[in-house]
Copies of this chain bind each other. A is one copy, B any other.
């Protein structure tokens, strides 16, 4: 038990929940539940591939759209646990729908400024040296609505375009060693096998650092909406550079300025200049519970929990304020903390029943601190739709209902 757990235990104390804090936590009579519930009939037999309970209805957030193939669905961050996002709830963002790809026919071509252009089947890739690492993927448009003064009413809407998985695949540098990158190759073009042929330009330094050509997600094959059978994983970089349904990597001298990096995914500054190739996702945190739309019941003990992540490395601390920013307490971080991955934070909290605002603020191992909206606007203006990592607040009303602090 580390120091944080110890202090948490002291915070709770013996019998902390014995009073009114827990609605149903009353002392029962001595009758064990055998007397109350008759033994059931035999349950369901073993089966080959499991499914969740029919009582569970947690789902990705999907908005009505005339073009559901060029749309997004959002992870219900307030109803997921730990740091692994269930693959079935991993957010989606695609521009031409999810292709149905036969894995035995799919090939990955690596060509351009290389000594030996090569084509890799999926079984080729699976024979090669592999790595498994836990990383988040976040759409660069995640929290885009938070640039505005009002912000989104729920954490799904404000932050649900981010998810975290254990990815398995071949380090891209192994493949690049194989084809032999020519000295003049400083970038590469990654292209997807969806109908719109998503294309992004990537610097060679990232490709040789920690990029993965991934075929596994949370222990099994990639899910179709995350790029089955093979995708690029560029840890910490904006989501759409992690090209899904990867079919081609072309080594080039410079970036290609494709439609997917000029018409979209650029950031307009106040002076009319646009930033391009803003790859790294800045450190961000958000409280997932309690969060907008929740009703926390009465005063007493509540756990404040949420997620933090940084595209530049490890989260080193998350502070939580329960009084709108006047005072901050350090939350405990779920161990071990991975680089460029969701980091779960938790803080015990005794709510006194009065209206208040909860905030979280993270720091990463580069020393970067998550900014307020005002600080972010001072740096980047008000016109960007991307890379918004402002501090987000949730207001707890006296009746226990939770809403966007700026609504």
A residues within 8 Å of B by Cβ? 8-9, 12-18, 21-28, 30, 32-34, 37, 39-56, 58-60, 62, 68-69, 71-73, 79-90, 92, 94, 96-103, 107, 109, 111, 116-121, 123-124, 127-132, 166, 168, 173-174, 177-178, 180, 193-195, 197, 215-216, 218-221, 223-225, 228-229, 247-248, 250, 301-303, 305, 334, 336, 338, 344, 346, 348
Given contacts A88-B49, A221-B56, contact A14 B124 (CB under 8 A): no
- Identify 18 new A-B residue pairs, CB closer than 8 A, beyond the known A9-B174, A33-B247, A47-B60: A23-B121, A24-B119, A26-B118, A32-B109, A39-B195, A40-B99, A43-B98, A44-B100, A44-B224, A49-B88, A50-B88, A52-B223, A53-B221, A58-B221, A80-B219, A86-B219, A130-B305, A336-B338
Across the interface, A344 reaches (CB within 8 A) one of B9, B13, B132, namely B132
Contact status A220-B58, CB under 8 Å: yes
Given contacts A73-B47, A118-B28, A247-B33, contact A81 B219 (CB under 8 A): yes
A128–B69 CA distance with the chains assembled, in angstroms? 40
User: Can you name 19 A-B pairs with beta carbons within 8 Å?
Assistant: A13-B177, A14-B177, A18-B116, A24-B124, A25-B178, A26-B118, A39-B195, A40-B195, A46-B62, A47-B225, A50-B88, A50-B225, A55-B103, A55-B229, A58-B221, A81-B130, A83-B219, A86-B219, A127-B303
Q: Hey, which chain B residues are within 8 Å of A218, CB to CB?
A: 82, 84, 86, 218
Contact status A336-B336, CB under 8 Å: yes
A194–B86 CA distance with the chains assembled, in angstroms? 26
- Please give the distance in Å from A53's CB to the nearest CB on chain B: 5
A59–B49 CA distance with the chains assembled, in angstroms? 6
The 10 closest A-B pairs by CB, nearest first: A43-B97, A45-B68, A82-B132, A81-B216, A81-B168, A48-B59, A46-B73, A50-B88, A44-B98, A43-B98
A348–B58 CA distance with the chains assembled, in angstroms? 42
Given contacts A30-B111, A96-B43, contact A118 B18 (CB under 8 A): yes
Q: Hey, which chain B residues are within 8 Å of A26, CB to CB?
A: 118-119
Contact status A42-B59, CB under 8 Å: no
Across the interface, A33 reaches (CB within 8 A) one of B18, B51, B109, namely B109
Contact status A43-B195, CB under 8 Å: yes
Contact status A220-B89, CB under 8 Å: yes
Across the interface, A97 reaches (CB within 8 A) one of B45, B82, B177, B224, namely B45
A229–B53 CA distance with the chains assembled, in angstroms? 9
Contact status A178-B119, CB under 8 Å: no
Q: Hey, which chain B residues are within 8 Å of A197, CB to CB?
A: 34, 39
A62–B177 CA distance with the chains assembled, in angstroms? 42
Across the interface, A52 reaches (CB within 8 A) one of B129, B221, B303, namely B221
Look across to chain B and name the residue whose beta carbon is closest to the beta carbon of A165: B84
Contact status A50-B89, CB under 8 Å: yes
Across the interface, A301 reaches (CB within 8 A) one of B83, B88, B123, B127, namely B127
Look across to chain B and name the residue whose beta carbon is closest to the beta carbon of A348: B129
Contact status A25-B119, CB under 8 Å: yes
A98–B123 CA distance with the chains assembled, in angstroms? 36
